[in-house]
Structure 1
Amino acid sequence: MAEVTVSQLAEVVGAPADRLLTQMKQAGLKHTSVDEVVSDEDKQTLLSFLKTSHGESTDAPKKITLKRKTLSTLKTSGSQGRKTVNVEVRKKRTYVKRDPAELLAEAAEAERLAEEADAAAPQEATAPDVEEAPVEPVKVEEPVASVDEFVEEVQDKSQMDPEVLRQQAAAKRKDKEAKDKELQEAAIAAKKAEQERAEKAKVADKPADEKPARRRHEAPAPAKEKDDEIADKKKKRSGKLAPKTRGKNRTHNIKNVDAFMDGDGTDSRGRRKQKVLKLPEGAKTHGFAKPVDTKTVLNVDVPEAVTVAELAAKMNVKGVVVVKELMKLGVMATINQSLDQETAQLVVEELGHTVNLVTGLEMEEELEDSLNLHEGTMAARAPVVTVMGHVDHGKTSLLDYIRESRVASGEAGGITQHIGAYHVETDKGMITFLDTPGHAAFTAMRARGAKSTDIVILVVAADDGVMPQTEEAVKHARAAEVPLVVAVNKIDKEGADPDRVRNELAAKDVIPEDWGGDTQFINVSAHSGDGIDDLLEALLLQAELLELEAPADIPGKGIVIESRLDKGRGSVSSVLVQAGTLRKGDVVLAGQQFGRVRAMLDENGKPIDVAGPSIPVEILGLDGTPNAGDSFVVLENEKRAREMAEFRQIKDREDKLKRQQASKLENMFANMGEEESKSLNIVVKADVRGSLEAIQSSLLEMGNDEVQVNIVSGGVGGITETDITLALTSNAVVFGFNVRADGAARKAVEDEGVDLRYYSVIYDLIDDVKQALSGMLSPEMREEINGTAEVRDVFKSPKYGAIAGCMVIDGTLYRSNPIRVLRDDVVIYEGELESLRRFKDDVAEVRNGMECGIGVKNYNDVKPGDKIEVYEVKEYARTL
């Protein structure tokens, strides 16, 4: 212990410093001041003196008894109600100190007895019966420390962490058990050796014919007399064997089974020889060994985020084991709670396994490396052209003329709702076209179209000019670093002005070639076909400058253009092959989905078996609808594709959990004390993935701090009964975009009264949601001044107090409205009218230019020159 002063020691023991100095002086110590240092020897001297003065012995006690009593309460329920029972548990433990001299004497006595037993073994061997005495374990008692050391140890431990004390106690208990076990095993071994020596001496002194029989598990030695005896028995029994024994000792109970068998493996009655476990020569026990309980050390892969249940499965343990380890680390977690990588690493190491930290990019990099092994031979490919522009500027009509089809007529309202992919054969080569929507909600779809293309056609109406979506298309093309070709459409309409389009685009840094820029401007008409050939020639010229190439002799890979859920065919995905060859029957991994290509169709719905670079096709066979814009690759087997798909799904779920936890932590204090915002719950089902994403992004952008849209669920495909049940549970509205509800869902809608709405144009859906949110907004409160009166004189009334004689100088005074009293244009009182009179009559209102008497309720300090202002509060509906 560290040295302390007399004053500090007095404070620790709880005694006055003067009294402690007196006791130290009586004990023979030379301390005279409270600031002097007290050493450990001084403390021991003082302690011995105090024990002697109190009649205690300085020697360590021979026995110490510790008692502990705990009280607990048990609540029970009976016929008379709940009862409370107090349970008291008493425990007592006694420590006995053994003298080392006694222990040595006992050991010497045991050794002497063993020597006497060895010497008397030959004489005792002739005894008729020798019984094996049971070996009793030797109990070794450790000496107990002195009372002072014991008390000091208890005081030190009381200041330690309970968990550390438990661990120390467990370690001491384990060491003590190991030592006791070693001593007991040594004593047992010595006793057995002594008994074996006595037995050997006894057997050696007996005659040969009086030797004890062998144990039944010892193999008998071969002897001719024995064989003759067995042969006689065999003849007497006429080939009958002794009855078989049952149980695990069957082998040991049958003696010389081979003697009853013939040489050909059968007995005398022709039965098959019984298989008997033969013991090795000289063996006294069976050959079975006790299995060794060795713990298997696993190499556990720990990702960036993992749930408790998943971590337990990786280590082949129960979830409760992981929860207990987390509790030891101070982390309270449920079995479905997500853990970060550092916490999971600590748990795995505590359970004795090896940790392998896994990042989310390792498997993706491994997949990318395996795909890069297929280089292939580069060959020329067709250009992929994306048609972009504002709504109703003629994008799809222009593409219809090129394809000689009618696509726009099949779209709702003549507006493209999806990304369409087509390839056409021209006199100068093949071109693949991607048609993107022009509505503001389809920004993400246009961005994907720009990223997956080689050339962008910007369609601008000559009679309308540059519009917001036109500017956005220019930004997407520049962000993707894709060359731009401007098609000035509708030049045959009245009011068409192509030069206006050039001027407006030049202001956006899109300079025509004839003005010294690098952008081709082609005047076309989708109605008459003027300029279409020039446009195609410009596209092929631009493609030649780009020198587009792709390998065709490698497994196919590309991008998902669109995906939808067909009721009869399942998942249908529109993909664009960018490199390699996609064949029917290939195993495809697309985003988080995988599957084998069961069928492959072109843009006209005709089945095909092979699709090369720059060819858009529809594939069937994926296990879900991948997101538009996801990349797809062809893998060698389905197992690899399933592993990658599951890994991506887990990664996506982990990312969502991280974002949810981060948003909760960030907004926990920000939202504290604020009113909860109103939300409109919506369930959205669409026909294709691109439209679903466009609708969700548009709806989430609506609202403000007071009202907002909450998308409960969104999916591709028809409306099912599950969607209606979810909407009923969350009090949501169901929106179907180009999809319908099945029979079970319609019946659930009728029974439960869920609000279900169908839409085919995204404008209508967004407008309805905007109106609904506007109706949820609280009205705006505005004050309007109705009239103002000026106080000319003040009269006293025994009933109303001070009455102000006023002249209405502005507006009209109403008796039921609240008022304000102004003095020098400063509000000095707000209240209401108690009376409003003209002459002796009570009136409801007084107009401008008239005199009246006003009694202000609960206010008598009205003075001439004050103004009384009458106003009212009106509510006005708010809109987004």
Structure 2
Amino acid sequence: MSQQTTIRKLAELVNTPVEKLLEQLAEAGMKFGGPDQVVTSAEKIKLLGFLRRTHGKASPQAEEVAAPKKITLARRKVQELTVGGGRSKTTVNVEVRQKRTYVKAAEAPPPAVGEMADGERAEVLRKLEESRQRNLAEQQRLAEADRARAEDLERKRQEEETQRLAEEQRKAEEDQRQKGVPAAPQDAADAAPRAARPAAPHHRPAPDRVAPGHKHKPRGSHAMVAGIEDDEAASRFAGQLHLSAADRARRSSARPGSRSKPRRQEVRGGAGGGAGGFERPTAPVVREVAVGDSITVADLAQKLALKGGDVVKAMFKMGVMATITQTIDHDTAVLVVEELGHKAVRADSDDAETELLAHVEQAQGDRTPRPPVVTIMGHVDHGKTSLLDYLRRTKVATGEAGGITQHIGAYHVETPKGVISFLDTPGHAAFTSMRARGAKLTDIVVLVVAADDGVMPQTKEAIQHARAAGVPLIVAINKIDKSTADPLRVKNELLAEQVVAEDFGGDTQMVELSAKVGTGVDDLLDAISLQAEVLELRAVSEGRASGVVIESALDKGRGPVATVLVQEGRLKKGDYLVCGVQYGRVRALFDETGSQPDSAGPSIPVQVLGLSGVPDAGDDFVVVKDERLAKDVAQQRDAKRRESRLVQSAGSRMEDIMAQMGKGEGQQVLNLLVKADVQGSVEALKQSLTALSNDQIRINVISSGVGGITESDANVAATTKATVIGFNVRADASARRIIESNGVDLRYFSIIYDVIDQVKQVASGLLGVEIREEIIGIAEVRDVFRSSKFGAVAGCMVVEGVVKRNKPIRVLRDNTVVFEGELESLRRFKENVEEVRNGTECGIGVKEYNDVKPGDQIECFERIEVQRTL
């Protein structure tokens, strides 16, 4: 399976809608045709640089650090050359060092004037080779001289040993002749039969035959003769003094069963070593390292047969800081392996996924017509749910908080035109991801626009989602029964969004209706049926089912509950299925009315009970043959997702850390813990709340999940000093005790507007207040009068605003501040007044300033505290 990063995966990693990421890529100068195209590392860096420049966070120095113009890699190769043999063997280390610098093509400097030509470079390389050959020849000559010298020394030693032994034998024979013992000639001894010779190993000379002056040296069952070399040959032929050392060695080696003891130097087996000795490698060992999507630094070091600190050091030199327990991604691991001189290969660990893929391919069958899946989209309060109410003859809108839909409702309706499955999506701006998910599941999008309200922001987003999904669009102009309805205005506004009605020569069906009284609803069903016939929708109606999760929640009595839309096959009770990182067996199926059908075919939404956990909305589900395969696939996916999360928080680059240090420590952090009733609401809340962050405050959702607020959640919130937000859920008794004892801020909500507003208020409280100066009035000096009590008194005309007595002032001359102080007196004629308004003359006495001149302006202002807001 491909491990490349697509735009969709990148959008999930950075927690950004796919459409917004495509817009940012387009603004950065990179055009992509769809969210499934691959994004390279260079394009990621280019996008990052564009976003930093856009937000004003990139400086020239930071750009240089974030995008280096060149990279230098050092290579060192050490080889060993062995010259000679035996004890004179010499090992020579040959080290080759290389340093290569890679420069960006757009920024590569022009070639220098003095740069070497090809001929000069070849000449330099030839001289280097000649120098290397001379060095090797010299080293070989020295080794040969050492070997010859060693051979001469060995030969001299052997000659001296032979002379010594011959001298000892001559003396022994001389002694024997003096005692009258005849000595047999050497040739006769050699010619005598082996049986007539004495047994050398067990021969012990008689005491009366031992020469005077020699002492016996007992050793085991032998008597060693002093003055003879203490070795095995001498001890074995100690009595045959007439034999030479060469004869004794020859006879010892020729004796059957004799074990000649090797020389000590040969037993050790040094650097070159014989059998059983250790030989150092003469070339670097290049290993093939299998790397998956992610790997810890410790595991990578083990595969490289290196210490963890060496790998961390190599990563530090490359500009990536990570500890030995952190996880790095595949690309970083490959760079580290290649930098250390080894080869990286892709680790194939998708055995369960491959088996699942083969399992699904085998389950294909004949394709038959299926009902269409229709998604109702549009702005808030434009009548989407009311339209479904009329079709289902129920009042679902009364059960939604605030009258708005906050979940994806899935229904299939029996109409005179056949079965149609409807998906109702929220219209609020916070539920953009839920609307996008609804558009991806659908065959036809019905865009509901109120005739009295026209095209609104969420209407435009719905059009974009429909285009991104590549599904046909039908416009339902609702609320035509109102007196202020203007369907023609809606059609004209849709022209600006490139949605052209069939009346205007376009290809978009537009139906005018009233969901309240039912006018035009049959025409809408006709339009849906006509569009479905054109699409020729088909699916496999039998066999193992597959589909997608529309919504999921944690029910207190039933456990994890997932609302799924079957797209292929037939889902039955008792099936084993894998759903994202969850798996299980279908214990029960429920439709939108609460009844329990035996099975669900293509395009039918049902609720599934029996999963191991709450799946994420948008996850695919597949029915498999047994629980083992489902469990293996789910566990493998969970491990990959966990590794991906670890990779996001590991291995910070130096330039990123420097950029964070440059931001200063003035940014406040607001920790939030979000719990909601369904998974879709959790996603919408997280995206909406984190989007409130700015340079002054960062909204950090430390934990989120589906279900009630538990004791564990309360402990986490108390530890991190987080505000707990419960969206349509409540805290249990144990959690309430912890929250009350630790003073944790707990807030319950049922409408997403209130969540966003109150989080803004809390964040504004953390931001504090700022002091602002507001100019409330300007007076122009017309003349200056002298007073014995107040000094210089300025006769002024208030030309703007109002001048108040107890407010600070500034004196401006030629639009430049020359004095800042306060009013000493403010008079109108001879009376002291508190304020003088625009167009009124007055006398102003400036405290401790007597240099007022005609033409000056006296600016009156006040300082106010303004609460910082998001």
TM-score band by shorter chain is 0.5 to 0.7
Q: Deviations over 1:196-247 (max 9, x none)?
A: 9789x9xxxxxxxxxxxxxxxxxxxxxxxxxxxxxxxxxxxxxxxxxxxxxx
Contact 1:572 / 1:625 at 8 angstroms: preserved in 2?
yes
Give the direction of change, closer, same or farther, for the CA distance of 1:855–1:407 in structure 2 (3 Å limit). Answer: closer
Query: For the residues of structure 1 that align with 2:325 and 2:408, how far apart are their CA atoms?
Result: 40
- Counting only pairs closer than 5 Å after superposition, residues 146-295 of structure 1 correspond to structure 2 as none
Q: Secondary structure at the match of 1:779?
A: strand
Q: Secondary structure at the match of 2:439?
A: helix
Query: For the residues of structure 1 that align with 2:808 and 2:664, how far apart are their CA atoms?
Result: 31
Contact 1:600 / 1:609 at 8 angstroms: preserved in 2?
yes
Q: Secondary structure at the match of 2:762?
A: helix
Give the structure with higher Rg (CA). Answer: 1
Contact 2:724 / 2:745 at 8 angstroms: preserved in 1?
yes
Query: For the residues of structure 2 that align with 1:669 and 1:424, how far apart are their CA atoms?
Result: 56
Q: Does 1:131 align with 2:220?
A: yes
In the other structure, the counterpart of 2:32 is: none
In the other structure, the counterpart of 2:100 is: none
Q: Does 1:477 align with 2:466?
A: yes
Contact 1:308 / 1:323 at 8 angstroms: preserved in 2?
no
Q: Does 1:521 align with 2:510?
A: yes
Which stretch shifts more, 841-850 or 642-651?
841-850
Contact 1:423 / 1:616 at 8 angstroms: preserved in 2?
yes
Q: CA deviation at 1:653?
A: 4.2
Q: CA deviation at 1:547?
A: 0.8
Q: CA deviation at 1:686?
A: 0.8
Q: CA deviation at 1:531?
A: 3.5
Query: For the residues of structure 1 that align with 2:635 and 2:343, how far apart are their CA atoms?
Result: 24
Give the direction of change, closer, same or farther, for the CA distance of 1:445–1:870 in structure 2 (3 Å limit). Answer: closer
Q: Deviations over 1:722-780 (max 9, x none)?
A: 22222222222111111111111111111112111111121222222233334445336
User: Could you tell me which of 529, 542, 556 is aligned with 1:540?
Assistant: 529
CA RMSD of aligned residues (A): 4.7
Query: For the residues of structure 2 that align with 1:605 and 1:668, how far apart are their CA atoms?
Result: 57
Q: Secondary structure at the match of 1:606?
A: coil
Query: For the residues of structure 1 that align with 2:165 and 2:389, how far apart are their CA atoms?
Result: 113
Query: For the residues of structure 2 that align with 1:384 and 1:602, how far apart are their CA atoms?
Result: 16
In the other structure, the counterpart of 2:706 is: 716
Contact 1:395 / 1:435 at 8 angstroms: preserved in 2?
yes
Give the direction of change, closer, same or farther, for the CA distance of 1:877–1:553 in structure 2 (3 Å limit). Answer: same
Q: Does 1:632 align with 2:621?
A: yes
In the other structure, the counterpart of 2:781 is: 790
Which stretch shifts more, 844-853 or 578-587?
844-853
Q: CA deviation at 1:482?
A: 1.4
Asked which structure has the greater RCO (Cα within 8 Å, sep 6+), the reply is: 2
Give the direction of change, closer, same or farther, for the CA distance of 1:803–1:348 in structure 2 (3 Å limit). Answer: same
Contact 2:714 / 2:738 at 8 angstroms: preserved in 1?
yes
Give the direction of change, closer, same or farther, for the CA distance of 1:546–1:497 in structure 2 (3 Å limit). Answer: same
Contact 1:132 / 1:195 at 8 angstroms: preserved in 2?
no
Unaligned runs of 5+ in 1: 1-97, 134-189, 202-289
User: Could you tell me which of 776, 784, 797 is aligned with 1:809?
Assistant: 797
Give the direction of change, closer, same or farther, for the CA distance of 1:302–1:872 in structure 2 (3 Å limit). Answer: same
Contact 1:461 / 1:490 at 8 angstroms: preserved in 2?
yes
- Counting only pairs closer than 5 Å after superposition, residues 22-37 of structure 1 correspond to structure 2 as none
In the other structure, the counterpart of 1:768 is: 758
Contact 2:301 / 2:308 at 8 angstroms: preserved in 1?
yes
Query: For the residues of structure 1 that align with 2:563 and 2:234, how far apart are their CA atoms?
Result: 88
Q: Secondary structure at the match of 2:405?
A: coil
In the other structure, the counterpart of 2:689 is: 699
Give the direction of change, closer, same or farther, for the CA distance of 1:836–1:485 in structure 2 (3 Å limit). Answer: closer
Query: For the residues of structure 2 that align with 1:193 and 1:343, how far apart are their CA atoms?
Result: 65
Query: For the residues of structure 2 that align with 1:300 and 1:637, how far apart are their CA atoms?
Result: 34
Q: Deviations over 1:552-584 (max 9, x none)?
A: 344322111011112233221111111123333
Query: For the residues of structure 1 that align with 2:654 and 2:356, how far apart are their CA atoms?
Result: 35
Q: Secondary structure at the match of 1:122?
A: coil
In the other structure, the counterpart of 2:175 is: none
Q: Does 1:751 align with 2:741?
A: yes
Query: For the residues of structure 2 that align with 1:708 and 1:329, how far apart are their CA atoms?
Result: 30
In the other structure, the counterpart of 1:677 is: 667
Query: For the residues of structure 2 that align with 1:522 and 1:443, how far apart are their CA atoms?
Result: 25
Counterpart residue type for residue 200 of structure 2: P
In the other structure, the counterpart of 1:573 is: 562
Q: Deviations over 1:58-100 (max 9, x none)?
A: xxxxxxxxxxxxxxxxxxxxxxxxxxxxxxxxxxxxxxxx999
In the other structure, the counterpart of 2:848 is: 856
Query: For the residues of structure 1 that align with 2:349 and 2:491, how far apart are their CA atoms?
Result: 48
User: Could you tell me which of 578, 582, 588 is aligned with 1:593?
Assistant: 582
Q: Secondary structure at the match of 1:571?
A: strand
Give the direction of change, closer, same or farther, for the CA distance of 1:792–1:509 in structure 2 (3 Å limit). Answer: closer
Give the direction of change, closer, same or farther, for the CA distance of 1:348–1:458 in structure 2 (3 Å limit). Answer: closer
User: Could you tell me which of 410, 431, 435 is aligned with 1:421?
Assistant: 410
Query: For the residues of structure 2 that align with 1:792 and 1:445, how far apart are their CA atoms?
Result: 70
Contact 1:556 / 1:582 at 8 angstroms: preserved in 2?
yes
Query: For the residues of structure 2 that align with 1:786 and 1:827, how far apart are their CA atoms?
Result: 17
Query: For the residues of structure 2 that align with 1:381 and 1:191, how far apart are their CA atoms?
Result: 103
Q: CA deviation at 1:422?
A: 1.5
Query: For the residues of structure 2 that align with 1:646 and 1:720, how far apart are their CA atoms?
Result: 25
Q: CA deviation at 1:443?
A: 1.4
Q: Percent identity?
A: 50
Query: For the residues of structure 2 that align with 1:298 and 1:598, how far apart are their CA atoms?
Result: 50
Query: For the residues of structure 1 that align with 2:599 and 2:164, how far apart are their CA atoms?
Result: 97
Q: Does 1:874 align with 2:860?
A: no
Give the direction of change, closer, same or farther, for the CA distance of 1:113–1:435 in structure 2 (3 Å limit). Answer: farther
Q: Deviations over 1:815-837 (max 9, x none)?
A: 764443333x2425233259659
Q: CA deviation at 1:384?
A: 0.8
Query: For the residues of structure 1 that align with 2:297 and 2:639, how far apart are their CA atoms?
Result: 14
In the other structure, the counterpart of 1:148 is: none
Query: For the residues of structure 2 that align with 1:442 and 1:581, how far apart are their CA atoms?
Result: 30
Q: Does 1:779 align with 2:767?
A: no
Query: For the residues of structure 2 that align with 1:502 and 1:521, how far apart are their CA atoms?
Result: 8
Contact 2:314 / 2:336 at 8 angstroms: preserved in 1?
no
In the other structure, the counterpart of 1:122 is: 200
Query: For the residues of structure 2 that align with 1:756 and 1:472, how far apart are their CA atoms?
Result: 33
Q: Secondary structure at the match of 1:509?
A: coil
Unaligned runs of 5+ in 2: 1-148, 170-189, 191-196, 206-216, 223-228, 241-275, 279-284
Give the direction of change, closer, same or farther, for the CA distance of 1:426–1:100 in structure 2 (3 Å limit). Answer: same
Q: Deviations over 1:258-308 (max 9, x none)?
A: xxxxxxxxxxxxxxxxxxxxxxxxxxxxxxxx9x9xxx9997531243113
Give the direction of change, closer, same or farther, for the CA distance of 1:197–1:501 in structure 2 (3 Å limit). Answer: farther
Q: Secondary structure at the match of 1:625?
A: coil
Query: For the residues of structure 1 that align with 2:234 and 2:553, how far apart are their CA atoms?
Result: 87
Contact 1:326 / 1:347 at 8 angstroms: preserved in 2?
no
